[in-house]
Copies of this chain bind each other. A is one copy, B any other.
Amino acid sequence: MDLSSFITSLTTSFVIFLFLMLVFVWLSRKPGNNVIYYPNRLLKGLDPWDGSRTKNPFSWIQEALSSTEADIISMSGVDTAVYFVFLSSVLGILVLSGLVLLPILLPVAATAHVKPTNGTFSSLDKLSMGNIEVKSPRLWAYVIATYWVSFVTFYILWKAYGHVSDLRATALMSPEVKPEQFAVLVRDIPQVPEGKNRKEQVDSYFKTIHAETFYRSMVVTDNKQANKIWEELEGYRKKCARAEAIFAATKRTGTAEGTRPTNKIGFLGLIGKKVDTIDYCNEKINELFPKLESEQKTTIREKQQAAAIVFFNSRLAAASAAQAVHAQMPDSWTVTEAPEPRQLIWRNFTIKFYERTIRQCIVYVVVALIIFFFMIPIAIISAFTTLDNLRRLLPFLKPVLDIAAVKTVLEAYLPQIALIVFLALLPKFLMMFSKAEGIPSEAHAVRATSGKYFYFIVLNVFIGVTVGGTLFGTLKTIEKTPNKAVHILGKGVPANATFFVTFVALKFFVGYGLELSRLVPLIIFHLKRKFMCKTEAELKEAWAPGDFGYATRVPGDMLIITIALCYSVIAPIIIPFGVAYFGLGWLILRNQALKVYVPSYESYGRMWPHMHARILAALIIFQITMFGFFLLKEFVETVLLIPLPIFTILFSFVCSKKFYRSFSHTPLEVASHELKEIPNMESIFKAFIPACLRSEKFDDGGDQFEDALAQFSRSGSTV
């Protein structure tokens, strides 16, 4: 890639970004779009504009910059605040690295006297380490730079881990009553003994051990049937509301009586008898309602599973119980902290201990296979990266490719777009696999998905493109002079820097531009509002903002970190782009966190150790890459780099010892803080009742649950 196509790429990206930003400023000022640009504020019952409408069109930037961490926590939760700690830590690492590396390494490389090679060596490459001669004393600067980047990373990550640990502790010790802090999840309950039912078994077990702190238990039930009826019922309710809205609309616009909507009750509403929708739905609702009630009772009584949620009357008791081995055989009665009610994955609770292990093994194998089979298409993509390759391999395209405009655009974008589209395929599958492991909470499943996606991205995109691109491009030369292979690699790998610079630029300009302007959700919303939504509920569903989507967002950021770190010393020109990515990301996502996204769960920063470990993994990849490059430069002092990966591993070890356990468990010190008020245990219990088992009579939701059980217990104990 030469300089002109590089600049074309950057300029185009920047123009797109400017356009998207103007679109945002223009669209976000229309009140009709408030639900797209301010849903989080709306859902919290706040005024979307928070002041006058005459403000500066770029006031959102000022708002984002002036918002504090406390604002973020109150608007979007601790997990979001931790994500910003992540963004600002990486930003800090890159800025501190750049401040030293750019003024030192660029002049060192630019003033090096290297025999000019023909064609393939662009002016950009002159600024990279590839321009330094073998055994040159200038390489010392690069050794020092490698150390600087490593220690900057250690310093900032250390600060950040401590800060996140404080954030987590503060949130966990807050005087607000949070139901999940009073509960533990019990799985792998052994066979019910003769003459007892599951509920009695659980109660008597926990009463014996936690005599004074046990409050009550909720045995997990097989809700499949109840859920089916409940969903059907909800479906008819929605349909009914929709039909009533349509009826009301026709009344307003047409005749005084209006037209009552009708539908066919056969397959997909296409065949069968025509009925009055409102009447039909009401009839169905009246039919299903008692069915649901009786099914709820049956479920609670007869479909108890070998898992339970056990409630304690203090946070301390629950935190303490969640950390202790309960049974003599630790593969039964496994007790863990309960996740939030809203993020429970009920169907995974009853998967048995060894089945979980087996599922995990299978998932790992499948994911590994996916990662390695995708290697092939990526390798092909990276081989086509250069137009020269295209022209050579597909000669019939030559006339088209030689048009200047097509050439520039293709050269600038083709490989990057192919890559990005390609990457969009995977996350759904990975999430599905992660849930299939038997993970009990959404937050954990997201972490597991993010981890898998990280491996995929780093292995395939980063290593695949680097090695693949280089190997393809230089294979012929190596064929002729095999002894020069090492030298060619040493020059060829840094040559990929420009590819990655444009990749990063495309990602942040176009990616964050789209993120800010929310064009896609906006269009979808307006289409839905126009053609589909009839009721308020449907409308609300249409603009529901969703959450941050950490499962893909974090690995995406991780890829940029890996690229930025790995090329930071080889081609320091990448650092400003990395800074721009994370700076722009911080700014735009700050806006989105304050105004748009609504987190779908809260894990009190448990994502952090995951991020921390992966930043360190990126650092190790960087350190090993550097070691390889220095070897190629035949630089004897390369041995000085050997301690670096060891330092990184030690650092990771110390961090995990110092901080990790308070992320995997709630420390008693934290759980022992006083509450604002005496907790209402009944409402804590009710918070965990799954939707399909909730009674319709709102007041006695828990009572109904309890009644059914009490009745059952009584009948059970008399047996």
Contacts and interface: CB of A to CB of B under 8 A. Distances in A.
B324 A320 contact: yes
Interface string A650-683: 0001100111111001111110100000000000
A209 B331 contact: no
Contacts of A660: 330
Contacts of A209: 316, 668-669, 672
Contacts of A669: 205, 209, 326-328, 333
Contacts of A658: 329-331
A190 B326 CA distance: 30
A101 interface: no
Sort chain A's interface into a size bin: 35 or more
Q: Which of A321, A667, A668 has the most CB of B within 10 A?
A: A668
A668 B333 CA distance: 11
Interface in A283-342: 316, 319-321, 323-331, 333
B657 A324 contact: no
Nearest to A212: B212
Nearest 3 A/B pairs, CB to CB:
A330-B661, A323-B324, A325-B667
A259 B268 CA distance: 119
Contact of A659 (B319, B329, B668): B329
A165 interface: yes
Nearest to A173: B328
A531 interface: no
Interface of A: 165-166, 169, 205, 208-209, 212, 316, 319-321, 323-331, 333, 353-354, 357, 653-654, 657-662, 665-670, 672
Nearest to A660: B330
Contacts of A328: 165-166, 169, 662, 667, 669-670
Contacts of A659: 329-330
A158 to B, nearest CB: 13
Contacts of A668: 209, 321, 324-326
A165 B353 CA distance: 19
B329 A662 contact: yes
Given A330-B658, A330-B662, 18 more contacts: A209-B316, A209-B668, A209-B669, A319-B324, A321-B668, A324-B668, A325-B662, A326-B667, A326-B668, A326-B669, A327-B662, A327-B669, A330-B659, A330-B660, A330-B661, A353-B657, A354-B657, A357-B657
Contacts of A333: 669
A365 to B, nearest CB: 13
A121 B552 CA distance: 67
Nearest to A326: B668
Q: Which of A319, A326, A659 has the most CB of B within 10 A?
A: A326
Nearest to A213: B212
Contacts of A653: 357
B319 A654 contact: no
Q: Which of A166, A325, A329, A667 has the most CB of B within 10 A?
A: A325
A166 to B, nearest CB: 8
Contacts of A323: 323-325
B654 A354 contact: yes
A511 to B, nearest CB: 37
A696 to B, nearest CB: 39
A524 B672 CA distance: 59
A165 B332 CA distance: 14
Contacts of A330: 657-662, 667
A208 B666 CA distance: 16
A668 B321 CA distance: 9
B353 A665 contact: no
A659 B330 CA distance: 6
11 contacts: A166-B328, A205-B669, A319-B324, A323-B323, A326-B668, A326-B669, A327-B662, A329-B658, A330-B661, A354-B657, A357-B657
B324 A324 contact: yes
Contacts of A661: 325, 330
A165 B320 CA distance: 24
Given A320-B320, A354-B654, A657-B331, A672 B325 contact: no
Contacts of A324: 319-320, 323-324, 665, 667-668
A670 B165 CA distance: 34
Contacts of A672: 208-209
Given A208-B672, A209-B316, A209-B672, A325 B657 contact: no
Contacts of A325: 323, 661-662, 665-668
